[in-house]
């Protein structure tokens, strides 16, 4: 008796077909910038990028040879005009997020010291916030951070 074709996302798949290999993981350094009053910085994703307009914590992809701390310092300077000493970057938590467009390993770091005023160099918006945040939509990878900050009680006592 013939076996029916298996279907995946509407297309036929032969019984002997191998599943797609896992997608490569993109490593991303993410900064949770904390002010002494407990507020943290969130920014929107710039126009032209995936999830444009969504609120997130600032950061970006690691380039070849970079550490998380050096990548975060570079990204904060490029995007926000802030000078950051990589030695001041505090690794905090990691989170794997499998977005439809990319599989990302998010390396969240707390940062309490930086130099310079915020400059929204990519046309993004910014806000200093405390939980619960009044902004939306929020990038899915940022939601757990808000939960962590809330669970820790107050960002100024971390």
The Cα-based distances of 30 to 49, 58, 70, 145, 147 in angstroms read: 17, 6, 11, 11, 16
| Neighbour-count burial of 1, counting CB atoms closer than 10 A to its CB (0-12 exposed, 13-18 middle, 19+ buried) | exposed
- 96-119 pLDDT, tens per residue? 999 999 999 999 999 999 999 999
Domains, in order of start, for the chain:
23-157 (3.90.79.10)
pTM: 0.84
- 8-52 pLDDT, tens per residue? 333 343 445 566 677 899 999 999 999 999 999 999 999 999 999
DSSP state letter for 38: S
């Amino acid at each position: 008796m013939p076996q029916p074709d298996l279907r995946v996302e509407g297309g036929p798949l032969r019984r002997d077909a191998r599943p797609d290999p896992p997608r490569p993981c993109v490593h991303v350094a993410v900064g949770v910038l904390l002010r002494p009053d407990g507020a943290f910085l969130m920014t929107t994703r710039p126009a032209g990028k995936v999830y444009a307009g969504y609120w997130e914590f600032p950061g970006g992809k690691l380039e070849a040879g970079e550490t998380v701390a050096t990548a975060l310092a570079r990204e904060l300077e490029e995007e926000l005009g802030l000078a950051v000493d990589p030695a001041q970057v505090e690794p905090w938590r990691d989170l794997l997020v499998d977005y439809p467009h990319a599989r990302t390993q998010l390396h969240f770091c707390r940062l309490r010291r930086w130099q310079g005023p915020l400059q929204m160099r990519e046309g993004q918006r910014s806000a200093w916030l405390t939980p619960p945040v009044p902004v939306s939509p929020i990038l899915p990878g940022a939601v757990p951070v808000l939960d962590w900050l809330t669970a820790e009680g107050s960002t100024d006592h971390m």
